[in-house]
Amino acid sequence: MTIGIPEKLALTLFLVVAAVTLPWNISALLIAALLSARTLIPALRPLDQTARRRFRKIFFVLLCLVAVMTAVNSVFVRSGAVWAEIAGIRLFEGGLLFGLTTGFRLLLIAAAFLVLFGSTSIGAFADYLNHVGIPGPIATTALLSLHFLDHLPERIQQIFIAQESRGAPLRGNLVARIRSFFLLLSPLVLSSIVESIERGTALELRGFHLGISLRTASGPGNRHWSPTTVALLAFSIILVVYRLTLWLIPSP
Amino acid sequence: MADSISIKSFTFRYPGSHRNALSEVSLEIQAGSCCAILGPTGAGKTTLLQAVAGVLGAHHAQAAANGHIQIGSVVHSPLPRSILFPRVGLFLQDPTVQISGIRDNVEDEVRFTLDNLRVGDEEAVQRVRIQLEELGLGMLATRPLSQLSGGELQRVALAGMLVASPPVLLLDEPLNSLDATAQARLLRLLATFRGRHTVVLTDYGIDAALRLADRVVVLSEGRVLYQGAPAGLVSRSEEFVDLLPADSLVRLSGLAGDERIPSPERRFFRKILGAL
């Protein structure tokens, strides 16, 4: 079984649909399966150490977020029975379920995209988009955005260091960290605008406006969808239909 | 074939600005020659290159401009209104920006330019190979761009421009982000362009101008203070004390017999050199 970009895109779509339509415990199982697949299947492994580190970092942050979200919801959304009482604080089942559902939904969607982009180079995406006939300007704009997102953590880190070296209070308690967000946001937006203009000009200076081509020397494979792609797309459709049916036909 | 550049009484003001970025600039650059534009930050060096390349005309259509810019036999009045690539190649200050970001390895990245120009497969492969060899990148052809050093990235960006064989090549502070070895290598490479491309480069210092240029232009606040042979700049170095970096002035003073820089500055530079 070969896993190329069509299979990865179908897998991502399936996981997103599953995250939205299925209960949180299935999402948790799918996350575990995805993490295993990321280790076992070469095509899903991170391209380099940077991608590997980025996945770990973002996944860990999101996992913490899920834990916080679940705890906060179980305390403040007071529906259903009391699930537990810890140090006089009551945790409600309804809030717990809501927190878990929302948190694992977010985690599965994020993990799916992280695996997709961490294991696929922008050049390979370019090949594929060109192959399926996406118009050059649209595809290239999307790819340049991806390129920017790829460098975003590095850029944030640079701005973080720059602001900190000016004495900005970026570390410390939660309030300092929230404040630091605004200190980072302004230079990040400004530098993004400047870089977008420069990058656009640089592309024009290489004749991008004359005849757009995303093709690389290696070239893509054939146009047919593999059984894996078809199966994943079929599962996605089934899940959507199942969810719509549940929504449209009220239970007695 | 290289093209000549002729700029006559060219004035340019950015939209919303109250002062001219360039004022009454007139230059004559012969085909196949090398011209160095020197001056401090904000002198108008980048603006001048962007005007010739067509970037200003394409991106600042509402800007006030006068005069004309002639490239080869084509007169643009007052300035080119679209980017003139592949006739004019502009190499930006930051080489990393010039990397497309959508190609994985060195040869694919260089080929991106030829794909844009719709050059056929066989010819493109041949031209990319020749260009990579010329810039000493042959061994790196299949290397991912993420694994290149700053100097190598700059050469890849330059290859991406040169592979289109632009008759006019504009280089905006090409030595800026390079160490001494990489600078020397780039200067040697640029020296081989003589006759094939008309090269215009900007720089803060005098090194590149003295090694390469047939003609030197000193810009300050959008005005041409000096233009002529590099040797002429040597005899007038005292006029540029505030405009050129200290090492450039020391170099000029050495070439001019040590008597050209006013005495306070000379003492200051000697003090620095003594300390070193």
As a whole number, mean pLDDT of residues A114-123 equals 84
Interface predicted TM-score of the whole assembly (ipTM), two decimals: 0.71
**Judgement on whether residues B239 and B128 belong to the same structural domain of the protein:** no
**Residue A167 falls within a domain, yes or no?**
yes
Distances (CA, A) of A117 to A65, A138, A225: 22, 18, 20
**Judgement on whether residues A120 and A174 belong to the same structural domain of the protein:** no
**Judgement on whether residues B134 and B200 belong to the same structural domain of the protein:** yes
**Residue A246 falls within a domain, yes or no?**
no
More confident call, B184 vs A166: B184
Res A53: pLDDT: 85
**Judgement on whether residues B83 and B152 belong to the same structural domain of the protein:** yes
Provide the shortest C-alpha distance from residue A146 to chain B (in Å): 9
More confident call, A197 vs B194: B194
**Judgement on whether residues A46 and A141 belong to the same structural domain of the protein:** no
**Judgement on whether residues A181 and A156 belong to the same structural domain of the protein:** yes
**Judgement on whether residues A12 and A122 belong to the same structural domain of the protein:** yes
Domain count of the fold of chain A: 2
Task: Classify residue B197 by burial, with Cβ atoms within 10 Å: 0-12, 13-18, 19+.
Answer: buried
* Residues present in chain B in total: 276
Q: Give the CATH number for residue B175.
A: 3.40.50.300
**Judgement on whether residues A194 and A119 belong to the same structural domain of the protein:** no
**Residue A161 falls within a domain, yes or no?**
yes
> H or E stretch including A49?
helix A49-76
- Residue of A178, A111, A210, A198 whose CA lies nearest to B84: A210
- Name A5's Cβ contacts closer than 8 Å, sequence gap at least 6: A120, A124, A125, A128
**Residue A27 falls within a domain, yes or no?**
yes
**Residue A82 falls within a domain, yes or no?**
yes
**Judgement on whether residues A92 and A164 belong to the same structural domain of the protein:** no
pLDDT in tens, B187-245: 888 888 889 999 999 987 777 787 889 999 999 999 999 898 887 877 776 677 666 66
> H or E stretch including A83?
strand A82-86
Provide the shortest C-alpha distance from residue B37 to chain A (in Å): 20
| Beta partners for residue B216, in sequence order | B36, B228
Q: Is B115 on the interface with A (CB under 8 A)?
A: yes
Within 13 A of B94's CA, how many CA atoms are on the CB side? 10
**Judgement on whether residues B216 and B235 belong to the same structural domain of the protein:** no
Count chain A–chain B contacts defined by CB atoms under 8 A: 89
CA B106 to chain CA mean position, Å: 23
**Judgement on whether residues A123 and A33 belong to the same structural domain of the protein:** yes
**Judgement on whether residues B177 and B128 belong to the same structural domain of the protein:** yes
- Residue span of the structural domain in which A50 resides: 1-132+219-239
**Judgement on whether residues B210 and B100 belong to the same structural domain of the protein:** yes
Per-residue b/e over B17-36, b at no fewer than 16 CB within 10 Å? eeebbbbebebebeebbbbb
**Judgement on whether residues A125 and A10 belong to the same structural domain of the protein:** yes
- Residue span of the structural domain in which B204 resides: 5-229
pLDDT in tens, B47-106: 999 999 998 998 888 889 999 999 999 999 999 988 888 899 999 888 778 888 778 789
Q: Is A199 on the interface with B (CB under 8 A)?
A: yes
pLDDT in tens, A136-187: 667 767 777 777 777 777 777 777 777 777 676 666 666 766 766 777 777 7
With CA atoms as reference, the chain A residue closest to B170 would be: A205
Q: Is A134 on the interface with B (CB under 8 A)?
A: no
Q: Is B90 on the interface with A (CB under 8 A)?
A: yes
**Judgement on whether residues A125 and A232 belong to the same structural domain of the protein:** yes
**Judgement on whether residues B101 and B42 belong to the same structural domain of the protein:** yes
Degrees (nearest 5) of the Cα angle B93, A203, A212? 165
**Judgement on whether residues B222 and B263 belong to the same structural domain of the protein:** no
- Residue of B206, B171, B205, B215 whose CA lies nearest to B189: B171
In whole angstroms, give the CA distance from residue A64 to residue B114.
48
**Judgement on whether residues B24 and B73 belong to the same structural domain of the protein:** yes
Three-class DSSP category at B120: coil
| Beta partners for residue B13, in sequence order | B64
Q: What is the percent of chain A with per-residue pLDDT over 90, rounded to a whole number?
A: 24
Interchain CB distance below 8 Å, B125 and A205: no
Provide the shortest C-alpha distance from residue B52 to chain A (in Å): 12
**Judgement on whether residues B125 and B253 belong to the same structural domain of the protein:** no
**Judgement on whether residues B248 and B218 belong to the same structural domain of the protein:** no
- Residue of A181, A184, A186, A193 whose CA lies nearest to A162: A184
Distances (CA, A) of A68 to A35, A55, A173: 22, 20, 16
Torsion-angle region of B118 (φ positive above 0: left; ψ -120 to 50: alpha; else: beta): left
**Judgement on whether residues A234 and A211 belong to the same structural domain of the protein:** no
- Cβ(B107)–Cβ(B128) under 8 Å? yes
Best of A50, A205, A212, A216 to disrupt the B interface (most B CBs within 10 Å) is A205
Q: Is A212 on the interface with B (CB under 8 A)?
A: yes
**Judgement on whether residues A106 and A196 belong to the same structural domain of the protein:** no
Best of B55, B82, B93, B116 to disrupt the A interface (most A CBs within 10 Å) is B116
- Residue of B4, B37, B34, B86 whose CA lies nearest to B192: B34
**Judgement on whether residues A38 and A127 belong to the same structural domain of the protein:** yes
Domain count of the fold of chain B: 2
For residue B101, give the nearest of A50, A147, A217 by CB distance: A147
Residue showing tokens 């719709």 = B118
* Residues present in chain A in total: 252
**Judgement on whether residues B170 and B58 belong to the same structural domain of the protein:** yes
Res B260: pLDDT: 42
Picking from B212, B229, B246, the residue at the C-terminal end of a domain is B229
Query: What is the band of B181 on the pLDDT scale with cuts at 50, 70, 90?
Result: confident
> Hey, what are B10's tokens?
């060219």
